[in-house]
Structure 1
Amino acid sequence: MKFTRLVAVPLIALVLSVPLGMMARAEGDALPGAPTPEQITTAKLVYGLLSDSRYAYRPRPLDDTMSAEIFDHYLEALDRNKLFFTAADIARFEAHKPQMGENVRSGRLEPAYAIFAVYKQRVAERVAYARELLGKDIFDFTGDDRWEYDREDAPWAADRAELDALWRQSVRNDWLRLKLAGKKPDEIRKTLGRRYLNLGNNVAALNQEDAFQSFLNAYTSTVDPHTDYMNPRTAKLFTQNMSLSLEGIGAQLQKQDDVVVIRELIAGGPAALSGKFKPGDRIVGVGQGSSGPMEDVVGWRLDDVVEKIKGPKGTQVRLDVVPGEATLDSEPVRVVLTRARIKLEEQAAKSEIISLPAPAGGGADKRIGVIKLPAFYQDFEGRRSRNGEYTSATRDVARLLEQFRTDGVDGVVLDLRNNGGGSLNEAIELTGLFIDKGPVVQVRESGGRVSVESDRNPGVAWDGPLAVLINRGSASASEIFAGAIQDYGRGLVIGETSFGKGTVQNIVPLDRWPAKEGDRFGHVKLTIAQFFLPGGSSTQNRGVVPDIAFPVTVDASEFGESTYDNALEWRQIAAVPHERYGDFAPLLPRLQARHAERVKQDPEFQWWVEDVAEFRAEREKKYVSLNEAERRAERDRDAAKRKQRQEERKRLGLALDPLADTTDDGLQAGERNVAEDAAREKAAEKRPDPLLRESAAILADAIHLLDSDRKLSAQVLPRSTAPGIWAQ
């Protein structure tokens, strides 16, 4: 049996208590009814798969404990912050708790759908109450009130009156943010009225399939944190993201109120090449082919509109478009496009070169090449086709390394910050670009059998100095790569301790079992193994610990594998023989000392440390003041701080922060001018990055030290075991 093997952080769970950025047709507002035959079959198939030790790494029996966990996970998915259900609702739902496991096994989904229906009703009630508050005199901000926004660990509200009190403070906070941003009362009422209406419409648009996927994922998440059910549409999106390609018109879309809006045009795509679109334009109608009927898509869910627009390359789609500057009731312009295969280049590996002056003690200037890799992506279908043409993170990085060799860079930093993982094959092959041959990862299956996955290709793409930059968002495949580089002594690891996900997932198509009648039942991403580094250690729960550490942005108790109550424990197995290119231990104290001395003099690094400390302090509070004078003073202090820093950048000749003048506008995603918001997002990518620059400086320090101190170099990189590696 051959499946796609992944080592990726899970898909973001469906959190239904916030807007999902999608709207449905009017008929989608109906409450979930009886489960369909496909849903019943799917539930049984998922249970069969996850309860079988031949597939699942840690199968669990559907006992009372698991039923209680399914119940809790389902409520958490619907109302994580406890702003919709009351304690009385929960007490009524409790009757279903003991049967939750059996309901999955038998496909009895009615109880879950009944809870979902109450959820939709409660959201509608809260939205109505919030909109009603906008007309009342509750917006005096001179007292000591505060909005306690983090309610995950709070008890359920006793009754509607307690929920009213919570929502009153939430609405007042929304109002105050807009007021501080300079909005007038009438404008605030209009903005918030539309915001709450959209929330209600978004949740009302959730249908039976949404309820089904949410409930089934409440079950899968009790098996382990990285096992997910994906319905056919979600599975297609997952494959698209992994392959960095799709077939369509080449436009990034978003929902704004009732209409789908073009946020960005993808270079080289049919929409961009037509010259007939620009960010902010609204799509109000879609038709298939040259003569198919046009469908009015105003009010539809975003995913439904996207499904209509995407299609096989070479086919035509007609779009009715209202320009962004026109009123929505203006006559639309009809545009005919021929779909094409679109490469999502923005999500691929990218490179830059950082030039660093020689240290005061002597030596030469250094040029450090940087590769930013956002994911371990691969076009699985393209690779299986054996035509040699497929998207691959390793291939892209190899091309960038080749260019670095041509450019004569002195060292390479591979930036894996916030890289959540991806293909296991890519992690192995990418490691092979930096080691000659050898084991990269050990994979332990549920029965205890351990297999070794190795790089078998002799030679390297880069044999010079290397550093890997990680943070808490670096997970799974990123940890395999960083951990292997560390075990081999091939390079320095810099940054924060990584996420701590040490498990391997397979994508299993459920349609392979019943009758292979197409894509009806979706896919399961299930955990099938645990991985260990060549040295025998797991990254599970503990993550990869950097050689040179930066201040921690988020605590392990807030984010990472260790926050999951059912995560696997850390463990260790026997090491496998592997090359040891170097031992950086003798070098680290001197690198640490140079790093500490340099960042003391680096204003941008110190600003970042200050911001991290403030961020962590704010997170600890878990509330915001509703006193206008206090909030305005905080806002003024922040503005003054940003202005002072910008002036300091000018004085020191540093790159300016393109977002230094940006303040909190009180708006949420989808409420801003689309074109301006997209431009601001692009500008954010160009902000100064002191952590990346400091990582390059640490690598340059290592090069200088090893070049100038032969005794130290012999300790760190014995020539007998590392010919050519790090040699300059």
Structure 2
Amino acid sequence: MKNISIRKFILSSSALMLVSTSWLCAKTNFNEVGKQMVMLLSNNHYAHYEFDEKLGKRFFEGYIKSLDRNKNYFLKSDVENLRKKFGSNLHQLLIEGKSVAAATEIHALYRKRANTRIKYAQNLLKDEAAFKFVSDRKVLISREKADWPLTEAEACGLWRNQVEQSLLSEQLRRDSIAELAKEQGKEDPLKGKDAPGKMISYRFERILHGINSSNEEEIVDAFLSAVALSYDPHTDYMSMSEMERFMSGMQNALVGIGAMLQAEDDGATKITGIVVGGPADKQGDLKLNDRIVGVDSLNVGTPEAMSDIMFEKLDRVVDMIRGKEGTEVRLKVEPAAGAPGEIKMIIIKRGKVELKDELAKAEVIEMKQTNGDKRRLGWVSLPAFYADFKNWKTRCSIDIEKLVKRLKDEKVEGIILDLRGNGGGSLEEVRRMTGFFTGRGPVVQVKNHQGRVEVKDSSHRAPIYDGPLVVLIDKTSASASEILAGALQDYN
């Protein structure tokens, strides 16, 4: 979860407003979405940049960087020509509601260059024996600070180096795995797998398919995300599908089949986990390591309705499988335990799936001391500051309150609050939760672009627990976790 930012709090209600038109009509006016977004940022963002040509240049450079961060696709002349055309007027096109055409034109050139580069790389991989790995050439892994290639010949040289480096890395990885298996007296788990060149070609194919299949919403999403990011690293734009996934994550529940998916190199989507008690688990036919190759979202049952998902973006596959509660989805599956080429059709009724691993949980830990006495400590784990913003029935603060009271009843001598890996979430939940340990008082200050400071106080008159407390954090504890840890430290 990204840091607390405009993405989560300032824009959360506005983002819903900007994209909610897709519920009401067949086609969203993304030009209007862009216009409303930059108006919102211009009027409310803390940075409060002047809305001028300088900012327009930031928008352009940010979008180019988001498409080709490692400078593998565009030529220098491509970027210079695009900069002349759009480099100083993107802000004006956004405010006039005319930005989508510019974003689409830039993406079209990016798509053209990507097709040229990746197909060249795949042709090289057809003859992987031609790579001998005997030269003393050096390959720049990250080209973010390098310049764009000047010519097609230079671009081809860069891609040849990249292909050779990928082949060598893959071969070394396989050799290492084979050697470890031999030392352990086990069979090489990669024995019988496709050759390194073929596997790398599959990875390129997935990248290319993702670029070529990008629809208008996805192109605009990349563009407006780059525009938002131009303000600061924690400001972002959410498309409609991203907002739905975000809300599902904050609710710790979703409607689907209850399966965890992973994109495979060869284009299929593998089942890596099945939620106990979920729709797929109850239906029983879908198994671990089964591979999904097609999805009929409405279970129409005709060949035309079955969508081929080979090399499809994982987010898009997830969206195809999810749907309304009580409806059915038909999956075209290659069973893990089946014969080569065997295909099985599995129909699963969608249902509500609770993401229990992301809920707050607690346990009592008993430790025996050297003198024989036992110490009882309470361990509380909170993976995220989740909350259902629609009806507030699901709230981590309610769960934490129950768990802390239960540990207090268990007469624990101290509580350990584990926020490791917690990337943040709802600010309201932090405000409420701090009061469980401090009572009423200030938790955090929020300052807007006008300099106005708002103090967020906890509402609990008295703490529900005032005993020894340890808060665990790590480098991935961010945002709301930092606020809670900092507030508790200040009150210590």
- Aligned-pair CA distance for 1:193: 2.1
Select which of 250, 258, 261 maps to 1:253.
261
> Aligned equivalents of 1:474 and 1:358: distance in 2?
31
Query: Is 1:110 aligned to 2:105, yes or no?
Result: no
* Deviation digits for residues 632-685 of structure 1 (CA, Å, limit 9, x no counterpart): xxxxxxxxxxxxxxxxxxxxxxxxxxxxxxxxxxxxxxxxxxxxxxxxxxxxxx
Residue in structure 2 matched with residue 369 of structure 1 by the alignment: 378
Residue in structure 2 matched with residue 347 of structure 1 by the alignment: 358
Residue in structure 2 matched with residue 162 of structure 1 by the alignment: 154
> Aligned equivalents of 1:328 and 1:206: distance in 2?
32
Select which of 88, 95, 118 maps to 1:98.
88
Q: Which residue type is aligned with residue 442 of structure 1? A: Q
> Aligned equivalents of 1:349 and 1:167: distance in 2?
47
> Aligned equivalents of 2:400 and 2:413: distance in 1?
17
- Taking the TM superposition and a 5 Å limit, the aligned residue runs for 1:200-219 are 200-219=208-227
TM-score, normalized by length of structure 2?
A: 0.82
- Aligned-pair CA distance for 1:345: 0.9
Select which of 382, 389, 394 maps to 1:380.
389
- Aligned-pair CA distance for 1:427: 0.5
* Deviation digits for residues 448-475 of structure 1 (CA, Å, limit 9, x no counterpart): 3333222222333332211222233222
Residue in structure 1 matched with residue 453 of structure 2 by the alignment: 450
Select which of 155, 159, 173 maps to 2:165.
173
Select which of 48, 73, 88 maps to 1:84.
73
- Aligned-pair CA distance for 1:331: 4.0
- Aligned-pair CA distance for 1:353: 5.3
- Aligned-pair CA distance for 1:440: 1.3
> Aligned equivalents of 1:476 and 1:188: distance in 2?
41
> Aligned equivalents of 1:179 and 1:475: distance in 2?
37
> Aligned equivalents of 1:151 and 1:432: distance in 2?
48
Residue in structure 2 matched with residue 61 of structure 1 by the alignment: 50
Select which of 470, 475, 481 maps to 1:472.
475
SS at match of 1:413: strand
SS at match of 1:227: coil
CA contact (8 A) 1:8 1:475 kept: no
> Aligned equivalents of 1:325 and 1:240: distance in 2?
33
Residue in structure 2 matched with residue 221 of structure 1 by the alignment: 229
Q: Which residue type is aligned with residue 221 of structure 1? A: L
SS at match of 1:370: strand
> Aligned equivalents of 2:73 and 2:263: distance in 1?
24
Select which of 263, 274, 280 maps to 1:271.
280
* Deviation digits for residues 357-392 of structure 1 (CA, Å, limit 9, x no counterpart): 658xx8966444332322111011131xxxxxx222
- Taking the TM superposition and a 5 Å limit, the aligned residue runs for 1:38-49 are 38-49=29-40
CA contact (8 A) 2:383 2:419 kept: yes
Q: Which residue type is aligned with residue 251 of structure 1? A: A
CA contact (8 A) 2:295 2:320 kept: no
Q: Which residue type is aligned with residue 111 of structure 1? A: A
Identity of aligned residues (%): 35
SS at match of 2:471: strand
Residue in structure 1 matched with residue 404 of structure 2 by the alignment: 401
- Aligned-pair CA distance for 1:8: 5.3
- Aligned-pair CA distance for 1:124: 1.4
Residue in structure 1 matched with residue 207 of structure 2 by the alignment: 199
Select which of 106, 118, 121 maps to 2:112.
121
> Aligned equivalents of 2:161 and 2:366: distance in 1?
51
> Aligned equivalents of 2:451 and 2:321: distance in 1?
47
* Deviation digits for residues 477-500 of structure 1 (CA, Å, limit 9, x no counterpart): 1121111111111xxxxxxxxxxx
Q: Which residue type is aligned with residue 77 of structure 1? A: S
Residue in structure 1 matched with residue 344 of structure 2 by the alignment: 332
Distance verdict in 2 for CA 1:367–1:177, change over 3 Å: farther
Q: Which residue type is aligned with residue 171 of structure 1? A: V
> Aligned equivalents of 1:290 and 1:202: distance in 2?
26
- Aligned-pair CA distance for 1:145: 3.6
> Aligned equivalents of 2:303 and 2:391: distance in 1?
34
- Aligned-pair CA distance for 1:10: 5.3
Q: Which residue type is aligned with residue 269 of structure 2? A: V
Residue in structure 1 matched with residue 178 of structure 2 by the alignment: none
Distance verdict in 2 for CA 1:478–1:287, change over 3 Å: closer
SS at match of 1:398: helix
* Deviation digits for residues 537-561 of structure 1 (CA, Å, limit 9, x no counterpart): xxxxxxxxxxxxxxxxxxxxxxxxx
> Aligned equivalents of 1:201 and 1:290: distance in 2?
26
- Compute the RMSD of aligned alpha carbons: 2.9
- Aligned-pair CA distance for 1:230: 1.4
> Aligned equivalents of 1:186 and 1:476: distance in 2?
43
* Deviation digits for residues 597-629 of structure 1 (CA, Å, limit 9, x no counterpart): xxxxxxxxxxxxxxxxxxxxxxxxxxxxxxxxx
- Aligned-pair CA distance for 1:261: 3.2
SS at match of 1:264: strand
* Deviation digits for residues 45-82 of structure 1 (CA, Å, limit 9, x no counterpart): 21222222xx4334333212101111111011101111
CA contact (8 A) 1:369 1:412 kept: yes
> Aligned equivalents of 2:402 and 2:138: distance in 1?
54
> Aligned equivalents of 1:221 and 1:291: distance in 2?
43
CA contact (8 A) 1:285 1:294 kept: no
> Aligned equivalents of 1:352 and 1:138: distance in 2?
59
Q: Which residue type is aligned with residue 67 of structure 2? A: L
For these two proteins, the number of residue pairs brought into alignment is 449
Distance verdict in 2 for CA 1:89–1:228, change over 3 Å: same
Select which of 198, 208, 227 maps to 1:190.
198
> Aligned equivalents of 1:140 and 1:352: distance in 2?
57
Q: Which residue type is aligned with residue 462 of structure 1? A: Y
Q: Which residue type is aligned with residue 398 of structure 2? A: R
Distance verdict in 2 for CA 1:147–1:368, change over 3 Å: farther
Distance verdict in 2 for CA 1:279–1:118, change over 3 Å: same
CA contact (8 A) 1:77 1:214 kept: yes
Select which of 424, 427, 438 maps to 1:424.
427
Select which of 290, 296, 306 maps to 1:281.
290
CA contact (8 A) 2:368 2:374 kept: yes
User: Which range moves more in the overlay, 238-247 or 186-195?
Assistant: 186-195
> Aligned equivalents of 1:9 and 1:172: distance in 2?
42
- Aligned-pair CA distance for 1:213: 1.2
CA contact (8 A) 1:287 1:294 kept: no
CA contact (8 A) 1:352 1:371 kept: yes
Q: Which residue type is aligned with residue 394 of structure 1? A: S
Q: Which residue type is aligned with residue 326 of structure 1? A: G
CA contact (8 A) 1:8 1:422 kept: no
CA contact (8 A) 2:436 2:463 kept: yes
